[in-house]
């Protein structure tokens, strides 16, 4: 067996605790305390992360380096919340760009943490490089809890407390089994005590009311670069290698007194390629679908320098059923040559012709690389999110349906007669849904093209940018009886 390179984790950690200032103080003004999980690969950091959150948010596998970006989530305990950050293993060799960025993301997470969970393997005990790391952690002044994971058996839990566990002045380790859940309650109590002692106690849930924004697109359209530009730091790993992002990763930021949770997702390839690849990629795509269903607004990132293809159309079809607000982000606009005053309008028309569903979605033209117009995305998110929470006035809706039917009379679908439209009623917000009341004997008595006409006119009349509208056909009770 070839000798593996020795990782000097002391040198790795010395950079952790250099103070940094984020470019936007409004973003960094977070009152929710952050707890970072660190350690070498395969000590069970992501399993512990999932156990503490009580949901399988992070991908877990035996493949070293599965976690690359920081993965964040809010942990609820005693009715209060703290932010938990999962990081990649610190013992990677940094031989390629992805491994170097993995360590970089871990460093950034620790710099911003108020408490560190230093995870080691209870079965093997601390390795020499972990002992070196403990010295650096002690010097940092940041509170540390040593977590001895994989202690499934009583004998392993007792061994944790033995003399074979000195870690250069750090507190005695707490034995847990992230897989079985043993010791997790005790660990949460220790986390609470440490945060309160540090003057950064967990907060109530009102502190994190936020707009959830998912970012999707095919591989290498610049999603992670766009997010880094939006939040003002290199928070997400970027690389020309496809599928650098393996799982949805989110971060909470604050801009102009408003919270946003941005979720970066794995690039979604064609279904046939995903099925063929299987494994982690297929699992990541499934998680992407859950993320979009739960998002308030989704940014569909496309490469403006390339033609719209099957993948974009597939993603748009998925968005149509997701109930999320939608914004199209045409990235790499700096690569478009010979632009004129009409270039943007012609590109909007091209999107609408290629993917009719996206006619309702506003389009913003940006360069994530140069940060051109990136900050304008926040204003657009606010507008789309506001629109999806609108309750329309009943009188305004009644006037709308009168004018719409006068301008374009109903068309017959299935059945012997043209149905009569009696009214329209809004039934929900976020997503926007309406009941169209008709006089007929069957719900498909109205022509599909006419329903599409009403849908488009409803969208245009009330300026509901970015929000798909669901128009449900309901038969008047007197008729259906």
Dump pLDDT digits (tens) for 446-458.
999 999 999 999 9
CA torsion, points 14, 18, 22, 23, in degrees to nearest 10? -110
Tens-place pLDDT, residues 202-227: 987 555 678 999 999 888 898 888 98
Band of residue 95 on the pLDDT scale cut at 50, 70, 90: low
Q: Specify whether the CB–CB gap between 278 and 241 falls below 8 A.
A: no
Q: Name the domain boundary from 387, 417, 440.
A: 387
The verdict on 70 and 200 lying in the same domain is: yes
The confidence score (pLDDT) of residue 108 equals 72
- CATH, residue 244: 3.40.50.300
Specify the 3-state DSSP secondary structure of 412.
strand
Q: Which of 84, 89, 83 is nearest to 105 (CA)?
A: 89
Lowest mean pLDDT among 25-29, 118-122, 150-154, 408-412: 25-29
Is it the case that residue 348 has pLDDT exceeding 90? yes
The verdict on 334 and 424 lying in the same domain is: no
Q: Name the domain boundary from 158, 190, 205.
A: 205
Please give the Cα distance from 253 to 83 (Å, whole number): 12
The verdict on 129 and 22 lying in the same domain is: yes
The pTM (predicted TM-score) of the whole model is 0.62
Q: Which of 119, 123, 197, 200 is nearest to 164 (CA)?
A: 123
Q: Which of 251, 255, 276, 273 is nearest to 264 (CA)?
A: 251
* Residue at 262 is within a domain: yes
pLDDT over 70 percentage in the chain: 75
Q: Which of 188, 13, 192 is nearest to 106 (CA)?
A: 13
The verdict on 213 and 291 lying in the same domain is: yes
Is it the case that residue 9 has pLDDT exceeding 50? no
Is it the case that residue 386 has pLDDT exceeding 80? yes
Please give the Cα distance from 390 to 251 (Å, whole number): 27
Lowest mean pLDDT among 128-142, 286-300, 365-379, 401-415: 128-142
* Residue at 3 is within a domain: no
Q: Which of 239, 242, 212, 219 is nearest to 228 (CA)?
A: 239
Band of residue 105 on the pLDDT scale cut at 50, 70, 90: low
Lowest mean pLDDT among 5-14, 248-257, 300-309: 5-14
Is it the case that residue 387 has pLDDT exceeding 90? yes
| DSSP annotation string for 176-227 | -BTTTTBTHHHHHHHHHHHHHHTT---B-GGGG--EEEEEE-STTSSHHHHH
Q: What is the average pLDDT value for the chain, to the nearest integer?
A: 79
Band of residue 250 on the pLDDT scale cut at 50, 70, 90: low
User: What angle, 0 to 180 degrees and rounded to 10, lies between the N-to-C axes of helices 184-197 and 45-53?
Assistant: 80
The verdict on 178 and 53 lying in the same domain is: yes
Lowest mean pLDDT among 308-322, 355-369, 417-431: 308-322
- Residue with token string 């305390």: 33
The confidence score (pLDDT) of residue 92 equals 45
* Residue at 56 is within a domain: yes
The confidence score (pLDDT) of residue 67 equals 42
Is it the case that residue 390 has pLDDT exceeding 90? yes
* Residue at 415 is within a domain: yes
- Residue with token string 């006035």: 393
Question: Radius of gyration over alpha carbons of the chain, in Å?
Answer: 26
C-alpha separations of 185 from 9, 44, 77, 78, 200 in Å? 30, 17, 9, 11, 20
Q: Name the domain boundary from 369, 387, 405.
A: 387
Higher pLDDT, 358 or 265: 358
The confidence score (pLDDT) of residue 407 equals 93
* Residue at 334 is within a domain: yes
User: Between the ranges 67-81, 179-193, 242-256, where is the mean pLDDT highest?
Assistant: 179-193
Q: Which of 66, 11, 72, 69 is nearest to 44 (CA)?
A: 66
Q: Specify whether the CB–CB gap between 152 and 183 falls below 8 A.
A: no
The verdict on 420 and 351 lying in the same domain is: no
Quote the number of domains for the chain.
3
The verdict on 374 and 442 lying in the same domain is: no
The verdict on 372 and 415 lying in the same domain is: no
The verdict on 40 and 178 lying in the same domain is: yes
Tens-place pLDDT, residues 353-379: 999 888 889 999 999 999 999 999 999
Please give the Cα distance from 69 to 263 (Å, whole number): 12
Residue-range definition of the domain harbouring residue 137: 9-205
Please give the Cα distance from 167 to 171 (Å, whole number): 8
């Amino acid at each position: 067996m070839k000798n593996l390179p020795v990782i000097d984790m002391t040198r790795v950690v010395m950079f952790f605790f250099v103070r940094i200032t984020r470019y936007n103080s409004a973003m960094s003004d977070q009152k929710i305390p952050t707890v970072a999980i660190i350690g070498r690969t395969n000590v069970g950091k992501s399993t512990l992360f999932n156990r503490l959150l009580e949901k399988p948010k992070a991908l877990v596998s035996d493949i070293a380096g599965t976690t690359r970006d920081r993965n964040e989530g809010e942990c609820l305990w005693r009715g209060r919340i703290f932010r938990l950050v999962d990081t990649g293993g610190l013992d990677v060799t940094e031989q390629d760009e992805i491994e170097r960025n993995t360590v970089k993301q871990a460093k950034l997470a620790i710099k911003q943490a108020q408490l560190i969970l230093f995870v080691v393997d209870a079965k093997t005990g601390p390795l020499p490089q972990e002992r070196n790391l403990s010295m650096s952690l002690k010097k940092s002044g940041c509170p540390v809890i040593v977590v001895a994971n994989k202690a499934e058996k009583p004998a392993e839990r007792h061994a944790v407390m033995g003399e074979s566990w000195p870690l250069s002045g750090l507190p005695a380790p707490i034995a847990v089994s992230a897989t079985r859940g043993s010791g997790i309650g005790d660990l949460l109590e220790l986390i609470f005590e440490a945060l309160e002692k540090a003057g950064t106690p967990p907060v109530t849930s009102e502190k994190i009311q936020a707009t959830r924004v998912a970012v999707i697109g095919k591989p290498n359209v610049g999603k992670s670069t766009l997010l880094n530009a939006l939040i003002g730091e290199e928070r997400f790993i970027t690389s020309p290698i496809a599928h650098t992002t393996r799982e949805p990763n989110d971060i909470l930021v604050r801009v102009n007194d408003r919270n946003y949770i941005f979720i970066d997702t794995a690039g979604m390839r064609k279904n046939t390629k995903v099925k063929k690849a299987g494994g982690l990629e297929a699992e990541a795509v499934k998680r992407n679908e859950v993320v979009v269903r739960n998002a308030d607004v989704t940014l569909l990132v496309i490469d403006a320098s390339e033609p719209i293809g099957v993948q974009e159309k597939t993603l748009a079809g998925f968005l149509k059923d997701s109930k999320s607000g939608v914004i199209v982000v045409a990235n790499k606009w700096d690569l478009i040559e010979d632009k004129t005053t009409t270039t943007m309008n012609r590109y909007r028309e091209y999107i609408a012709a290629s993917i009719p569903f996206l006619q309702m979605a506003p389009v913003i033209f940006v360069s994530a690389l140069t940060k051109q117009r990136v900050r304008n995305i926040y204003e657009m998110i606010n507008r789309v999110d506001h629109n999806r929470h609108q309750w329309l006035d009943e009188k305004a809706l009644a006037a709308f349906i009168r004018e719409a039917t006068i301008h374009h009379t109903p068309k017959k679908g299935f059945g012997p007669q043209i149905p009569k439209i009696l009214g329209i009623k809004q039934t929900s917000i976020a997503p926007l849904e309406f009941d169209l009341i008709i006089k007929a004997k069957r719900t498909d008595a109205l022509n599909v093209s006419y329903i599409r006409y009403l849908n488009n006119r409803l969208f245009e009349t009330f300026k509901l940018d970015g929000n798909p509208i669901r128009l449900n056909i309901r038969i008047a009770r007197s008729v259906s009886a």
